[in-house]
Amino acid sequence: MKRKNKLQLIIAIGLLSLTFLTSAYASNTTNDARKLFLDNNAIIYEINMRTFNANDINGNGIIDFDLGEVSGNFTNAIERLDEMQAMGINMLHVLPITQTGKTKALGTAGSLYAAASFNKINEQLNDKNSTLTLTDQAKKFVEEAHKRGIRIILDIPACGAYDLYLQRPELFVKDKEQIPVIPADWTDVRLLNAGNETTINDDVFNVYKEFVDMAIDELGVDGIRADVAHCKPAKFWKELISYSRKKDPQFLWLAESSDSWHDAISTYGVFTSYDKLLDAGFDGYYGSFFNLKTWHTAEELINHIQFNQSLAKTFTTPKSVIGSFTTHDELSPVLINGIPYSSMIIWLNATLPINSYFVDGFATGDDYVYDWANQKAETSFTDDDYYFAHRGKIDIFNFSRKPGKDNQELLQEFTAANKFKKSIAPIITHGKFTPLKTNFESVFAYAMSYNNNTVLVYGNLDFDNPATDINIKIPGLTKDVINIPAKARIQPELSNGRITVDLNPGEINVFLLEDFELK
């Protein structure tokens, strides 16, 4: 058998195995989200249910209900699940579905993170044409996702809306004048009093416990992403995670926390570092991959990858990290360094020992620039008369359009990279990460090797200037090694122990080397 045909067979068997696993998951709906994540095989897509499949007929970017337009809801979200499956998505991170505050609000629909309740689903997501209850609509969405091999993790907000404070003031931190504390500059929410490492606040704990009950018992979801997890004590999370795992041992917990963050969101609040959160039971965290936009040297990227690998080894139970290159708190990659930056993010997610992570609209190049942003609104469903929005970030404050532009070339690359990641799943899970030396400060190179196959990746972090005559040292490489391009403009020149190549600004190349393994 020819070597190339042999490799194609290996990939085909890998894809067949993954198809079988997906089918098995869909048929028995046994939660495997935690294992998928800890194996670095999750491909996560973050969605705002309120906009996910919104129908903006007149194209003005805002959902005009009086004109018959419809915002996103659990029922019409089902229509996009086949699209998610086709793109290779196997996990959806659903931004908060809890009720939103209407008093002292930001935006005409209220911020998704201004929770007015933690045990009731947001009425804004109710399909009034459905005969099902709102809870059953949400449950149906989860069931339909599971049928397609897509796991669901829900976002739990870190703070409470002012409306919730008016109802239950005992849940909140007060200042010296007994005024509820505004964390950071988030004027539409108030800081919950979760307690400290000695004593947690049972009132707040029970509120979060009710959310866990709703997520697992009522909706059947597969995990939770904890918003601003560092603003609560480790003891709080340890008890809550333990409670959830008694219900479902495979229930996934992802902490919004980073090794780059060191300060509490308020002088009245607590700060729990990322490592203590992982020790408390979280399976993973955000890391600091969002700093790629400021990294100009290969050393900075490689150091963070190695840092996370070393970090995972310090715990008695497995841990992992997401490719937090872009989140709803980050500017669209298109606005930072154009489509090449999006492409680099796609392939780093696909080839590093991390879990892939993207925001709805990323796959088709959305810049999240809204013409109506921060203008006075004709209609509002809160006490805010303006379309509050963050420029370049997915809208979480208003009834607005479905995310996405029309960059089909980027979409094809996105889908191809996710398919490639699935085909090399054993390498991503078990492979050895090896940094490779180059003669350019801005050019990174690394390999992932396992079972006599190697994924080779190199790219230029300089998005303004090309890099020419790059030499990449690859110990043991010979001219007869078969290299199959997954993402490449041109084939590199191979010689014993190195390759020579030129790279455009921001260009990244990916190859699969057959019958070759870095030792």
DSSP three-state, residue 126: coil
Structure tokens at 364: 């088709």
In whole angstroms, give the CA distance from residue 121 to residue 116. 10
pLDDT at 13: 41
391 Cβ neighbours under 8 A, 6+ residues apart: 368, 369, 373
* Tens of pLDDT, residues 146-201: 999 999 999 999 999 999 999 999 999 999 999 999 999 999 999 999 999 999 99
The counts of H helices and E strands in the chain are: 13, 18
Cα angle 49-361-274, degrees, rounded to a multiple of 5:
75
DSSP three-state, residue 173: coil
Which regions of the chain are under pLDDT 50?
1-24, 27
Torsion on CA atoms 398, 219, 47, 375, rounded to nearest 10:
0
In whole angstroms, give the CA distance from residue 414 to residue 409. 9
Structure tokens at 216: 């697992």
pLDDT at 330: 96
pLDDT at 491: 86
DSSP three-state, residue 388: coil
DSSP three-state, residue 161: strand
Q: Which residues pair with 160 in a beta bridge?
A: 115, 190
pLDDT at 8: 47
pLDDT at 480: 80
Strands (DSSP E) contained in 31-175 are: 43-47, 91-94, 151-156, 160-161
Domains of the chain: 31-427 (3.20.20.80), 432-514 (2.60.40.1180)
The amino acid occupying position 434 is T
In whole angstroms, give the CA distance from residue 511 to residue 498. 14
pLDDT at 157: 98
Written as one string, the DSSP assignment of 412-467 is HHHHHHHHHHHHTHHHHHHPEEEE--BS-TTEEEEEEEETTEEEEEEEE--SSS-E
Residues in the chain: 519
pLDDT at 88: 98
Please give the model's pTM, rounded to 2 decimal places. Answer: 0.94
In whole angstroms, give the CA distance from residue 456 to residue 444. 11
In whole angstroms, give the CA distance from residue 135 to residue 121. 7
Give 165-195 as a 3 state SS string. Answer: HHHCHHHECECCCCCECCCCCCCCEECECCE
In whole angstroms, give the CA distance from residue 294 to residue 280. 31
Structure tokens at 207: 């509120």
